[in-house]
Amino acid sequence: MSAARRYAISNEQERFWLAAEVARQGEACGLDGRRRGALRIVVAELVSNVVRHGGGGGELTARGLERGGRRGLEVIVEDRGPGIASVECALRDGFSEGRDLTPETPASARRGLGVGLGAVARLTSELHIEPRLPAGTRIRVVLWNDR
């Protein structure tokens, strides 16, 4: 198990640097190239969500895990936004910013595709989303070296 590393999130441009930094931690925890690639996507998506929907900033914490002979990496992202009213809806592809997106939804009325959290769920071994209504969300993901 490795020591936790904390990173402040303040702008969307940090997402790729943070994704690479956390992937380096994943390598040290035994994640293979495919899982590190998934980790980069997950971190970039979560950081982007913090900036776009989470009140403009937050914090990412990453640490190595060992459990039952398995090794992996835990990532926790916390923000100060309005929170997620329905986690079930937020995980559904085509849902963004509290509404369903349709082909008729003009591009000017959306800030994303509505597939981000669903993709995070598909790419991780574990996902826990804790809305802290009326303000803030805490998302915890784990990627294990054996899936």
Are 20 and 39 within 8 A, CB to CB? no
> Each residue of 46-66: b (16+ CB within 10 Å) or e?
bbbbbbbbbeeebbbebbbbe
The ranges assigned to domains in the chain are 5-144
Amino acid 6: pLDDT: 97
Q: What is the 3-state secondary structure (H, E, C) of 38-87?
A: HHHHHHHHHHHHHHHHCCCCEEEEEEEEEECCEEEEEEEEEECCCCCCCH
- The per-residue pLDDT string of the chain (147 residues; one tens digit each, 9 = 90 and over) reads 678 999 999 988 889 999 999 999 999 999 999 999 999 999 998 998 888 877 878 999 999 999 998 999 999 999 988 876 666 666 666 656 554 545 455 444 445 544 578 788 889 999 998 988 778 889 999 999 986
Amino acid 7: pLDDT: 96
Are 55 and 79 within 8 A, CB to CB? yes
Q: Whole-model pTM?
A: 0.82
Pairing of strands 70-79, 95-96: unpaired
Amino acid 133: pLDDT: 74
- Separation CA 61–CA 37 (nearest Å): 18
Amino acid 55: pLDDT: 80
Please name the CATH architecture into which domain 5-144 falls: 2-Layer Sandwich (3.30)
21 Cβ partners below 8 Å, 6+ apart?
7
